[in-house]
Amino acid sequence: MAAPSLLNWRRVSSFTGPVPRARHGHRAVAIRELMIIFGGGNEGIADELHVYNTVTNQWFLPAVRGDIPPGCAAHGFVCDGTRILVFGGMVEYGRYSNELYELQASRWLWKKVKPHPPSSGLPPCPRLGHSFSLYGNKCYLFGGLANESEDSNNNVPRYLNDFYELELQHGSGVVGWSIPATKGTVPSPRESHTAVIYCKKDSGSPKMYVFGGMCGSRLDDLWQLDLETMSWSKPETKGTVPLPRSLHTASVIGNKMYIFGGWVPHKGENIETSPHDCEWRCTSSFSYLNLDTTEWTTLVSDSQEDKKNSRPRPRAGHCAVAIGTRLYFWSGRDGYKKALNSQVCCKDLWYLDTEKPPAPSQVQLIKATTNSFHVKWDEVPTVEGYLLQLNTDLPYQATSSDSSAAPNMQGVRMDPHRQGSNSIVPNSINDTTHSAKTEHAAMKGTSVKNKLDLKASADSNAILHSSLATNSSNHNSCVVDMIRKTEGPHTSANIGVLSSCLDLRTVIPETSVSSTVSSAQTMVTQQTIKTESSSTNGAVVKDETSLTTFSTKSEVDETCALPATKISRVEAHAAAMPFSKETPSNPLATMKAGERQWCDVGIFKNNTALVSQFYLLPKGKQSISKIGNADVPDYSLLKKQDLIPGTGYRFRVAAINGCGIGPFSKISEFKTCIPGFPGAPSAVRISKNVEGIHLSWEPPTSPSGNILEYSAYLAIRTAQIQDNPSQLVFMRIYCGLKTSCIVTAGQLANAHIDYTSRPAIVFRISAKNEKGYGPATQVRWLQAHLNSDSPHFKCSVTTCGCGCGSGQRRPNLFQQ
Strand partners, 92: 95
Q: What is the pTM of this model?
A: 0.66
Minimum mean pLDDT range among 288-292, 344-348, 436-440, 762-766:
436-440
pLDDT-derived band at 61, boundaries 50, 70, 90: very high
For residues 431 and 56, the model is more confident at 56
pLDDT one-digit tens code per residue, 427-442: 333 333 333 232 333 3
- 696: how many CB neighbours lie within 10 A of its CB? 16
* C-beta neighbour count of 395 within 10 angstroms: 6
Distance CA 754, CA 651 (A): 27
752 within 8 A of 727, measured Cβ to Cβ: no
Query: According to the model, what pLDDT value does residue 732 have?
Result: 95
Distance CA 85, CA 76 (A): 8
State mean pLDDT over 232-246.
97
Residues 6+ apart with CB under 8 A from 54: 33, 34, 35, 323, 326, 328, 351, 382, 432, 434
Predicted confidence at residue 637, as pLDDT, reads 85
Q: What is the mean pLDDT of residues 638-652?
A: 92
pLDDT-based confidence at residue 621 (cuts at 50, 70, 90): low
Q: Is residue 799 over pLDDT 80?
A: no
3-state secondary structure of 644: coil
- Average confidence score pLDDT of the chain: 73
pLDDT at 280: 80
User: Is 751 strand, coil or helix?
Assistant: strand
Range from 72-86, 321-335, 577-591, 698-712 carrying the lowest mean pLDDT? 577-591
State residue 702's pLDDT score.
84
Quick one: pLDDT at residue 634?
A: 80
Per DSSP, which regions of 266-384 are E strands? 280-282, 286-290, 295-300, 319-323, 326-330, 333-337, 342-345, 349-353, 364-368, 373-376
Cα–Cα distance measured from residue 714 to residue 695, given in angstroms and rounded to the nearest whole number: 11
pLDDT score of 776:
82
Q: Categorize the per-residue pLDDT at 632 as very low, low, confident or very high, splitting at 50, 70 and 90.
A: low
Higher pLDDT, 401 or 1: 1
* pLDDT score, position 303: 80
Residue 177, pLDDT > 90, answer yes
Q: What is the pLDDT of residue 674?
A: 81
Q: What is the pLDDT of residues 729-785, one digit of tens each?
A: 899 999 999 999 999 999 999 999 987 667 889 999 999 999 998 878 888 888 865
CB 166 within 8 A of CB 138: yes
**pLDDT at residue 655 is higher than 70:** yes
Choose the weakest-confidence range: 234-243, 336-345, 742-751. 336-345
Backbone phi, psi, residue 191, to 5°: -140, 165
d(C-alpha 333, C-alpha 260), whole Å: 13
Residue 794 has pLDDT above 50, yes or no: no
Residue-wise pLDDT tens digits, 7-31: 889 999 999 999 999 999 999 999 9
pLDDT at 589: 40
pLDDT at 619: 65
Q: What is the arithmetic mean of pLDDT over 336-350? A: 72
pLDDT of residue 718: 84
Note the pLDDT of residue 782.
85
Angle among Cα 799, 805, 810 to the nearest 5 degrees reads 45
Confidence grade of residue 724 (pLDDT, cut at 50, 70, 90): low
- The answer to whether 96 touches 126, Cβ cutoff 8 Å, is yes
Q: How confident is the model at residue 257 (pLDDT cuts 50, 70, 90)?
A: very high
Query: pLDDT exceeding 70 applies to what percent of the chain?
Result: 65
Express each pLDDT in 569-605 by its tens digit.
Answer: 333 333 433 333 333 443 334 445 445 789 999 999 9
- Dist. CA 106–CA 202, nearest whole Å: 32
In 3D space, the residue among 533, 535, 523 whose CA is nearest the CA of residue 559 turns out to be 523
| Residue-level pLDDT at 755 | 79
The model's confidence at residue 295, banded by pLDDT at 50, 70 and 90, is very high
Amino acid at 114: K
Of the pLDDT bands very low, low, confident and very high (cuts 50, 70, 90), residue 673 is confident
Signed CA dihedral, 388, 394, 396, 399: sign only: negative
Residue, of 191 and 577, whose pLDDT is higher:
191
User: Which whole-number Å values give the CA distances from 667 to 388, 471, 507, 574, in the listed order?
Assistant: 11, 9, 23, 20
Kindly report the number of other CB atoms within 10 A of residue 596's CB atom.
14
pLDDT for the residue numbered 155 = 83
What pLDDT shows up at residue 75?
98
What's the pLDDT band for 300 if we cut at 50, 70, 90? very high
Cα 726 to Cα 729: distance, rounded to the nearest angstrom:
10
Q: Quote the CA–CA distance of 347 and 503 in Å, as a whole number.
A: 61
DSSP, collapsed to helix, strand or coil, labels residue 454 as helix
Inter-residue contact 433 to 383 (CB < 8 Å): yes
- pLDDT: which is higher, 432 or 269: 269
Least confident segment among 127-131, 405-409, 553-557, 763-767: 553-557
Q: Nearest to residue 499, comparing CAs of 294, 704, 685?
A: 704
DSSP three-state, residue 371: coil
* pLDDT higher than 80, residue 527: no
Question: In 3D, which of 213, 231, 234, 215 has the Cα closest to residue 223?
Answer: 234
